[in-house]
């Protein structure tokens, strides 16, 4: 009964407040429910929410990144990569797209390439140098382990 109530609440939330913040909350709830139950319906809901977020705000690289990571975690690395390529085609001149693309590259296991990408991003967007350097330091820390 509690899960049914929670699902009802999430569905109402999406219907009444379909903006990015609330869709993000809904995706997190579905994600937690999926982790607990492995219910494929939760997974379907998560994909639908992230796709909706990308469709409604094609300028949010974070939305593309989250959708790509979901595909990656489920083993579809080709789809994940194509999502990030689409993001870069639409948003490549913006910091956020370059930043998330480099992080995605690192998470796909190519730390060396990700560091190069982040260094280019740092040069291209010097006001974000601290954020970029922090990611570079994290990638290098993982590589040393």
| pTM, to two decimals | 0.85
Q: What is the pLDDT of residues 18-40, one digit of tens each?
A: 777 788 888 888 888 888 888 88
Tokens of 33: 């429910």
For every residue of 49-117, DSSP letters joined together read HHHHHHHH-TT-HHHHHHHHHHHHHTT-HHHHHHHHHHHHHHHTTSHHHHHHHHHHHHHTT-HHHHHHH
Question: Would you give the DSSP letter of residue 19?
Answer: S
Distance CA 140, CA 145 (A): 9
- Compute the average pLDDT of residues 54-81: 93
The pLDDT score that the predictor gives to residue 42 is 87
């Amino acid at each position: 009964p509690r899960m049914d109530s929670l699902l009802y609440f999430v569905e109402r939330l999406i219907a009444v407040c379909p903006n990015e913040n609330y869709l993000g909350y809904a995706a997190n709830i579905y994600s937690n429910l999926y982790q607990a139950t492995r219910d494929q319906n939760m997974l379907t809901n998560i994909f639908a929410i992230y796709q909706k977020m990308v469709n409604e705000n094609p300028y949010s690289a974070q939305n593309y990144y989250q959708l790509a990571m979901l595909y990656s975690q489920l083993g579809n690395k080709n789809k994940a990569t194509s999502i990030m390529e689409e993001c870069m085609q639409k948003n490549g001149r913006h910091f956020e797209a370059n930043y998330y693309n480099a992080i995605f590259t690192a998470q796909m296991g190519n730390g060396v390439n990700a560091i190069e990408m982040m260094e280019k991003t740092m040069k291209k967007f010097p006001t974000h140098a601290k954020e970029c350097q922090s990611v570079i330091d994290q990638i290098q820390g993982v590589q040393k382990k």
